[in-house]
Amino acid sequence: DSGVTQTPKHLITATGQRVTLRCSPRSGDLSVYWYQQSLDQGLQFLIQYYNGEERAKGNILERFSAQQFPDLHSELNLSSLELGDSALYFCASSVWGTGGTGELFFGEGSRLTVL
């Protein structure tokens, strides 16, 4: 158990819909990262927050947004969903911000299926 909690574990929805994925980091970790993993793409970095502020951004679509709340949990919002958004979405946390050498602790992921 990494200590990172993600909900929901599975989600099935239709194209055009909007979903919210939730992540609670390990106790004491200030950084939260979101990654997308699909079969043909590997782990793709989406976005990082550190202590409530956006710290780094990857190839995150404009239809996607995220935030980190004062209690350090984070939410990833995916809107106007398309079939290609079907993937595993992982949240990870670490003690350090960008540039730190700490390992990332990953949650078990949220599997999104868009029909």
Partner 1 sequence: SQKIEQNSEALNIQEGKTATLTCNYTNYSPAYLQWYRQDPGRGPVFLLLIRENEKEKRKERLKVTFDTTLKQSLFHITASQPADSATYLCALLGTDKLIFGTGTRLQVFP
Q: Residues touching partner 1: how many (CB under 8 A)? A: 26
**Residue 70 or 99: which CB sits closer to partner 1?**
99
Q: Report the nearest approach of partner 1 to the CB of residue 59 (Å).
A: 11
CB within 8 Å of 48: residues ≥ 6 apart: 31, 32, 33, 34, 54, 55, 56, 57, 98
64 contacts partner 1 (rule: CB under 8 A): no
48 binds partner 1 (CB under 8 A): yes
CA–centroid distance for 90 within its chain: 5
Give whichever of 48 and 68 is closer to partner 1, judged by the CB atom: 48
Q: Decide if 16 contacts 81 (C-beta within 8 A).
A: yes
Q: Which amino acid is at 94?
A: S
70 binds partner 1 (CB under 8 A): no
Asked if 90 touches partner 1 (CB under 8 A), the answer is yes
Residue ranges that bind partner 1, judged by CB under 8 A:
2, 4, 33, 35, 41-43, 45, 48, 55-56, 58, 88, 90, 92, 98-99, 101, 103-109, 111
